[in-house]
Amino acid sequence: MAAIAAPPSSVAAVVPASCSWPAPASVSVLPALRLPFRRRRSVSSRLYSSKSSSGADESLDGSSSCPGIGGTLHPAVPPPTRSGRGVPVFVTLPADAVTPSGRMTRRKTMGASFMALATAGVEGITVECWWGIVERETPGVYDWGGYMDLVMMARRCGLKVRAIIAFHQWGTGPGDPCWIPLPQWVLKEMDKEPDLAFSDRFGRRNKEYISLGCDVLPVLRGRSPIQAYSDFMRSFRDTFKDFLGVVVTEIQVGMGPAGELTYPFCPTEKLIRASTAAELGEFQCYDKYMLASLSACARNIGMRVWGYGAPLDASDFLKNPVETGFFRSDGSWNTPYGPFFLEWYSGLLLHHGERLCITTGAIFLGTGVKISAKVGGMHWHYGTNSHPTEATTTGYYNTVIRDGYLPILRMFARHRMTLCCTCFDLLDSEEKNNSRSSPETFLRQLLCAARMCNLPLTGENSFARLDDASLNQVIYNSRLYYGGAYETSLSFNYVRMNRNLFDSHNWNRFTRFMRRMSNNQTFQARLDSRGSESFLSSISAL
């Protein structure tokens, strides 16, 4: 299919300075330049409160209605001096730690596991608080019972809690043994108004997360999605107010599918089928709300023909991106049309993230908790000039001539957020089926941008494994960010707890990993020969 025409235009790409990360032996300190933090903007109470509905508002600050176009780079602030302590490790609980009916699962097993983790020197647990479980049947009716039990159990075991506010779906469908959809009342609204869900150019829907195009429209029984998210977080704050800042020390706000500030990868029905890592995905911008935004931006620059949809020659049918008209080296991604569309697509994502940063910061102001957000780790096709997987799958406008992560991380820095990112355990040498994939180079670019913005960082592993190669890679990447004469805050989430973790061989590896991450502090983390059998049998249900 022919590509959308790209006539000459004054629209040009914003190309920040490229950012390369030095080799481990030559990690240097960034210049101590000062970044003037902007005063936080006041936000209309109508936008973020369910008391009154608001209409569409394409811009938070009264700027152009075309998000993402333009912008300047800011130098980094001087990072704090080294504290000398190690890297705190948290362990993410199973996604079904709380049942769909809101009750804690496997209470005795969970208690034994918490005690083991505490003995091993783990700082705390990470738990997803699912929107589809807590507010499952009726809007404004919240059931936090199972999560309260988890928090109280963690407190008794001396563990801290990181709460992920999960506004997304988990699993591939009702047949999935761990299936957690959006709230039932939200799905009913989607059935009545299908355009609340993301859509690709073939009309295939994705219900993992509500479309960004209707963020501030009263489409959820008089509330906008942002208002519904705000009310949910406000209920969490009020319910756990006695634990905030003491036991519950961090809130990670979910900003998209998998909790990441991303677009969906593909339609929901396609999630059920196994897909290859090299697949490009499709631009998810064909619901009427996103198309209206795209059309308005195209009209504003006098190019109406660019406002009818995504580039048609960026299909996911071709697994090799260099063969597509849009993403090949000399493709239309690097013509005036390419920057227009990619900046609009990534710009909507930035607007969505900005709204949630402002909302979350206001709700938890003064509670003593840290606020974090997660970015996606799409490293496939990273070795190409156009980085097509990042553009289509996540919405990050990152190419060989443009750093697409700096705008996101600058936004997090403005709101004093912590960055969460994955791929800490991955090696390029393991990507045998995709020679253009480079998780190591992707992570170095992200770490470089995080250091420039002086962001606190939480690393994660991509796969729940405990082999020496992956654990050593986590330690290497942690030192890459944490080393040198100065440092920013760093912690690590091990994703995720299961019964294999407590196998005696894996447990020994995990406790050695804990000692190395914690500057060789000594922990009583032994499963003695007399107690190991009975303990391991008690957690075999995980």
What's the rounded Cα separation, in Å, for the pair 407 and 398?
A: 10
Please indicate whether residue 260 is annotated as part of the active site. yes
CA distance 380 to 320: 11
Whether a cis peptide bond, with omega within 30° of 0, leads into 526 is: no
Q: Among candidates 2, 103, 90, 199, which has minimal Cα distance to 458?
A: 90
User: Vertex 417, ends 358 and 345: CA angle to 5°?
Assistant: 65
As a three-state string, the secondary structure of 154-204 is HHHCCCEEEEEEECCCECCCCCCCCCECCCHHHHHHHHHCHHHEEECCCCC
Residue 126: beta bridge partners? Answer: 92, 162
The answer to whether 465 and 456 have CB atoms below 8 angstroms apart is no
C-beta neighbour count of 478 within 10 angstroms: 21
DSSP string, 396-416: ---BTTB-SSHHHHHHHHHTT
Cα angle, residue 167 at apex, residues 315 and 263 outer, rounded to 5°: 15
| 269: Cα separation from own chain's centroid | 22
DSSP structure string for 419-448: EEE--TT--GGG-TT-TT--HHHHHHHHHH
Is 533 marked active-site?
A: no
Helix axes 225-239, 337-363, angle to 10 degrees: 30
Helices H / strands E in the chain, number of each: 15, 10
Count other C-beta atoms under 10 Å from residue 171's C-beta. 17
Scanning the structure block, which residue is given the tokens 């990181």?
162
Choosing from 260, 282, 354, 431, which is the catalytic residue?
Answer: 260
- Name the active-site residue from 123, 128, 431, 460: 460
Q: How far is CA 110 from CA 26, 79, 115, in A?
A: 44, 38, 9
User: In whole angstroms, what separates CA 187 from the centre of its chain?
Assistant: 23
- Distance, CA of 219 to CA of 190 (rounded, Å): 9
Rounded to whole angstroms, the Cα distance separating 419 from 457 reads 5
Would you list the DSSP string of 57-89? -S-SSS--SSTT------PPPPPPBP------E
d(CA 129, CA 102) in angstroms, rounded, equals: 10
CB–CB of 513/87 below 8 Å? no
| Rounded Cα distance, 215 and 227, in Å | 9
Q: Annotated active-site positions, please?
A: 260, 460
